Amino acid sequence: MTQSLTLPRPDDWHLHLRDGAMLAGIAPESARHFARAIIMPNLVPPVVTGAQAAAYRDRILAVTGTGFTPLMTLYLTEATDPADVVAAHKAGIITAVKLYPAGATTNSASGVRDFDRVRAVLEAMAEAGIPLCTHGEVTDHAVDIFDREAVFIDRVLDPIRRKTPGLRVVMEHITTSEAVAYVQSQPADLGATITTHHLVINRNHILVGGIKPHYYCLPVAKREAHRLALVQAATSGDARFFLGTDSAPHADDAKESACGCAGCFTATNTMSILAQIFEEAGALDKLEGFASRNGPGFYRLPVNSATITLEKTPEPVTYPAKIETGAGQVTVFDPGFPLYWQVRQEATS
């Protein structure tokens, strides 16, 4: 008998879809399995106004069709107008606002340098119940790249949350046991997303036996003890942890370069990888919470009524190693082990 697992259709609470030919090439990889996704606004130039978010949403829908719902975000800058944010949220154009410390990651030059300059926006968001999504790394050159997340919690995140009661915050793509512990110590107005790849790789995967540019992402993968803390959090059933793949495509020539871009592209095989990780942790029954229920719970949205079914296969699942796009070829994340869970192909409802 085939072992199978049926879940409400999952959502991706942190996704990069890019624009133009790259968008056209990679968006179907997410729309095939996911019903909704929080869409990152780090285009060039970034999505900073409600009008830009609405236009970007329409460009996404033109590619995916209406079976996929992009949940738009605004890129927070020191010039963001609180009234525009609140109006865009009220009009149903945006779901959240994204905070990038300036210079922290790909296309983050317009991010925030002085956090006091965004106080009025944060207060308006707390008042209106608009979640803040955070890229949680400091950019201080004196702080080691492997410590930047833990330092961000102490220097930036905790002070912001103390000064802005009622602000709902998502710590995105957490990579450390410190972040897990911080989320666990706080009330439910703080949630965290965990990526597929951070459940699979540690820093050895990037650096041992030759540098592996397709495993380089930000925040950078940490020691094995941190990966284990992430697996523990994701498979624990704690509703504050949910899936945000951070699937972030770059053309291969931009990754395989003397200065390679950060980002892992996991949209194609995420559900197969997650099923395997959860099964190995003896927690297949917790996948539904992590991928399909906890995110809508935090964002106060309904759980999807459509479903997907994963089936255990006797032979390893096959999936493309590369996705061809009009903006170049994109390498699909290689977990480094064969996958035995396949999403059943069926017409989406």
CB of 19 to ligand NCD, least distance (A): 12
| Residue with smaller CB distance to Zn ion, 246 or 288 | 246
d(CA 73, CA 116): 21
- Among the listed residues 246, 252, 285, 334, the single catalytic one is 246
Sites for ligand NCD among residues 195-224 (CB under 6 A)? 217-218
Spell out, one character per residue from 246 to 285, where the chain touches ligand NCD: x when CB under 6 A holds, - when not.
x-x-------------xx----------------------
**Does 70 sit near ligand NCD (CB under 6 A)?**
no
| Residue with smaller CB distance to ligand NCD, 100 or 182 | 100
**Does 293 sit near ligand NCD (CB under 6 A)?**
no
Active site residue 246: yes
Residue with smallest beta-carbon separation from Zn ion: 246
**Does 288 sit near Zn ion (CB under 5 A)?**
no
| Residue with smaller CB distance to Zn ion, 7 or 96 | 96
Spell out, one character per residue from 162 to 201, where the chain touches Zn ion: x when CB under 5 A holds, - when not.
----------------------------------------
CB of 318 to ligand NCD, least distance (A): 26
Binding site for ligand NCD (CB under 6 A): 16, 42, 105-107, 135, 217-218, 246, 248, 262-263
Residues labelled catalytic:
246
